[in-house]
Amino acid sequence: MKKFLLPLLLCMLCASCNKDTFTISGRYTAPDGTPLYLVNLNKKDTLSTTKVRNHQFTFKGKLQEPFYAYVGQGRERVRFILEPGNVKVDIDERTEHGTPMVDAYNAFHRSYYRMDALRKTERQELTKEKERLSAEDFNRRWEELDTKYQMLQGDMVDSIVRANPDNLLGVMALDDLASRDTARFMSLYRIMSPQMQSTNMLQGDARHIRSQQRTTQGTPFIDYLVKGGNLDGSDVRLSDYVGKGKYILLDHWASWCGPCKAEMPAIKKVWEDFAGDRFDVVSVAVNDKREDTFRALEQLDMPWHQIVDAKKIPDSLYQVRYIPHIILFAPDGTIIKRGLRGEQIYATIQQLLREGK
């Protein structure tokens, strides 16, 4: 990690020597005339508009200071730090490169998410041993594995933030930690400069973490109403399922979410093997069109309880900012665990039911 910091700091010095002009040029295989927008994400301002010509586009302008930006339209967008210099953007591939902070963040990002790939590989290896392990041992080793990678990723963010507490590279690196290690995020957040703390990104992360403390492990569930949330169009409350004497696995998903669909076989298996008087599963479709949810329900074969058209209600109350996101509730409605994934889902339910807790 130390070898990475020296060229990173040199990049920062070089960036300050550039002029105040920028050029964003790129590729997007959209029809000619398709509008694209350059947006300042901190101020939420659209700064410029251009149109696609021969699958190419260009933005040019001047900067008073670097800012977090995106180029694109709708869900088709690429986010990056805009600073003086030339940035190359490929909207089709969701990639960007060319200026010091952009390239430095990309290097960090590749290393950071390489850890996710390594964690996934180790999870797969652990899963192969599942049959010879007790549920308790499997869960213990899974937790140890997650803790190891949480520490490794946290150390990487720590190094970047301490070297860049007063610029957007530190902000973006710290943002990657917000959903993974909230205690370490808040510790590093306090050493960022006041200007960087005031960015929408970090303020939103900090606000989310503080709110999440109301629905962390050991706290009682918060009820909510979804109008028309049952499949037949009638209203539904979370309390129709949670706090009724059963363990409830609450799965947040959407039809457009690939990782959510990939999680469905694990959820289906735990429902088939354990659903009954003591345990049940409820899926909640968030930020999704009702017709798309129904279409996905038919394709994915999800015969357990469904709440549809929940919009952003779970996000506002339970801070569900990323999906899939699973919350496990005790029979009395107390939150037991958040963020279960893969084989950990089955082992956790198996252990709970076996121990009779």
pLDDT, tens digit, for every residue of 12-69? 444 445 578 999 999 999 999 999 999 998 888 899 999 999 999 999 999 988 999 9
Q: Are the C-beta atoms of 349 and 343 separated by less than 8 Å?
A: no
Quick check: helix, strand or coil at residue 71? strand
- Which residues have CB under 8 Å from 355's CB, separation 6+? none
Q: What does the block give as tokens for 2?
A: 């130390």
**3-state DSSP of 228-273:** CCCCCCCCEEHHHCCCCCCEEEEEEECCCCHHHHHHHHHHHHHHHH
Determine the Cα–Cα distance for residues 196 and 173; give it in Å rounded to an integer: 12
Residue 3: predicted pLDDT: 41
Mean pLDDT, the chain, whole residue set: 89
Residue 315: predicted pLDDT: 85
The answer, yes or no, to whether residue 2 has pLDDT greater than 60, is no
Q: Residues 122-160: pLDDT tens digits? A: 999 998 888 888 888 888 898 899 899 999 999 999 999
Residue 356: predicted pLDDT: 65
- Closest alpha carbon to 170 in 3, 9, 354: 9
Which alpha helices (DSSP H) does 18-131 contain, by range? 100-128
Q: Which residue has the higher pLDDT, 100 or 179?
A: 100
Section 209-222 average pLDDT: 86
Section 313-332 average pLDDT: 89
One-letter amino acid of 6: L
Section 317-342 average pLDDT: 90
The torsion region of residue 79 among left (phi > 0), alpha (psi -120 to 50) and beta comes to beta
Quickly state the pLDDT bin for 211 (edges 50, 70, 90). confident
Section 276-281 average pLDDT: 94
Quickly state the pLDDT bin for 357 (edges 50, 70, 90). low
Quickly state the pLDDT bin for 4 (edges 50, 70, 90). very low
β-pairing, 35-40 vs 225-226, is unpaired
